[in-house]
Amino acid sequence: MVGDQPHRRLRDLARKHGPDVMRLQLGELSCIVISTPEAAKLVMKTHDKAFASRPRLLAADLVFYGSKSLTLAPYGEFWKHAQRVRSFRSIREAEVSDLVASIARAAAAGKAVDLSTMLPALTTAITSRAAFGKSQQLTTDRAFQVVFDNISEVLGGFAISDLYPSLKWLPALTGLKARLEKLRKASDSVLDRIIDDNRSRKSSATTAAESKGDDEENVLDILLNLQESQDAGVPITMDVIKAVTLELFMGGVDTSASTVEWSMSEMINNPRILHKAQQEVRQALGDDPSLHRLKYLDMVIAETLRLHPPGPLLVPRENRERQVELNSYVIPANTHVIVNAWAVNRDPRYWTEAERFVPERFVDRSIDYTGNDFQFIPFGAGRRMCPGVSFGTAVVKLTLASLLFHFDWSLPAEQKSINLTECFGATLRRQYALHLLPTQYCSVL
């Protein structure tokens, strides 16, 4: 019913049947769809606590160890502790400079590069170093890529068995259960190996400095320490540790990569904007390598996230405990809540020429990723908003600044413009791979 572009279809349906709050019956699932800033504020601020749980979905249950990850764990003490996502600056810089070197080789050979492959590879490398440390990077990069692509595909849509939870035999009949169990086994074996390695590295380290492992403390270290100190308020089991590290990949890889891809696509289609952003980067970074001065690039990123939020429908919520009154509608307990952030970010009552890519609209408007501007919610809002905002925006900004600083970009000869068709999945990616021709501008940053 919602088709392969559910964010668009739900926006169109909401315009007809319930601009603020629309009720949908999807199989046995009672669902409301939120499509305006006003209603989003009611769900994610006024009644944030009541709507802070995530519904239990089969794919998430099986792949994320019984919904024990950050996204799917019911709101509580554990979640507060588990949000310690750091910015990992040195890791970002090292990996982005490897990307620049490999694009430089293609540029020297006069070849186009496939950014749709290179950017997720970059964010996978950054995430696996942040999650497990440098020594595990190669193992995780290769093994996880396959598992992870499959998980993204499975989590991307509405599984028919989630719409009919009373039909317990449905997942087996559709083959979904077998597929999910296979995925769980594959990710389990990679994670078990990494955790064992990490433990034996720690126990064989003789000094505090050595026990820190590679370049800095990684997320696995943080979780294992929490487990040992029993400081988290809830038991940190091995399943929780695995679910959380797996979720860092789910949260961190495709979101940042697709934001960079969409930014590049929009800029190539708007050469004036590309030129302006490039001028700013080259002037500013010429004398001071601080990214803080890149105000126009910040606007380009914000405008990209407005039009192409990687999570167009956020992550569904649920009022598990009790019924809630919303805009004079009574929402019964256990209702599935979808916030259409994609529709909110394009609400024509608040955004002039809402469908156009115009970074300058942020000149007179602050860029607020804290979840307090309900007209602009690419990271969600409230208790369940994205904990990876700083990590994600830092990766996106450094990558874009480096691509713009080091290279001039053009379309391969046979192409006239970039096709902006979307592909809805666990994140909103481009339908077609982004191939661009780099020309080296300067070899030293």
Residues that bind ligand HEM (CB under 6 A): 70-71, 79, 85, 247-248, 251-252, 255-256, 259, 305, 310-311, 314-315, 378-381, 384-388, 391-392, 396
* Least distance CB 233 / ligand HEM (angstroms): 16
For tokens 């999807």, name the residue.
26
Residue 247 or 303: the one with the smaller Cβ distance to ligand HEM is: 247
State the minimum distance, in angstroms, from the CB of residue 51 to ligand HEM. 10
Which of 55/311 has CB closer to ligand HEM? 311
Would you mind telling me the total number of residues written for the chain in this entry?
445
Q: Both tokens of residue 241?
A: 């540790």
Whole-number minimum distance, CB 255 to ligand HEM, in Å? 3
Q: Rounded to the nearest whole angstrom, what is the least distance from the CB of residue 258 to ligand HEM in the complex?
A: 8
Which DSSP category does 132 fall into? Answer: H
User: Which residues, 6+ apart, have CB-to-CB distance to 112 below 8 Å?
Assistant: 106, 412, 435, 436, 437, 438
For 21, the 3-state DSSP assignment is: strand
| Beta carbon nearer to ligand HEM, 90 or 200 | 90
- Encode 155-178 in three state secondary structure: HCCCCHHHHCCCCCCHHHHHCHHH
DSSP 8-state class, residue 53: B
Q: Which is nearer to ligand HEM, 107 or 246 (CB)?
A: 246
Amino acid occupying residue 383: R
Q: Which is nearer to ligand HEM, 386 or 418 (CB)?
A: 386
Nearer to ligand HEM (CB atom), residue 18 or residue 380: 380
Task: Answer for the pair 347, 361: CB distance below 8 angstroms, yes or no.
Answer: no
Q: What are the strands, taking DSSP E only, across 98-227?
A: 113-114
- Both tokens of 91, joined, read 């890791």
- Interhelix angle 295-307/389-406, rounded to 10 degrees, is 120
Quote the CA–CA distance of 240 and 184 in Å, as a whole number.
14
**Secondary structure (3-state) at 30:** strand
Q: CB of 414: closest distance to ligand HEM in angstroms?
A: 31
Q: Is 31 annotated as a binding residue?
A: no
Q: Could you tell me the smallest distance in angstroms from the CB atom of residue 41 to ligand HEM? A: 13
Q: Residue 326 Cβ, how far from ligand HEM at the closest point, in Å?
A: 16
C-beta separation of 352 from 364 below 8 A: no
Cα separation of 186 and 417, whole Å?
Answer: 40
Whether the Cβ atoms of residue 49 and residue 382 lie closer than 8 Å to each other? no
| Strand partners for 437 | 410
Residue number, 78 or 107, with CB nearest to ligand HEM: 78
Dihedral sign for Cα atoms in the order 249, 251, 254, 258: negative
Please identify, using beta-carbon distances, which residue of 171 and 380 lies nearer to ligand HEM.
380
Question: Shortest approach of ligand HEM to residue 256 CB, angstroms?
Answer: 5
Strand pairing category for 29-34 and 336-339 = parallel
Report whether 269 contacts 418 (CB < 8 A). yes
Annotated binding site: 386
Annotated binding site for heme: 386
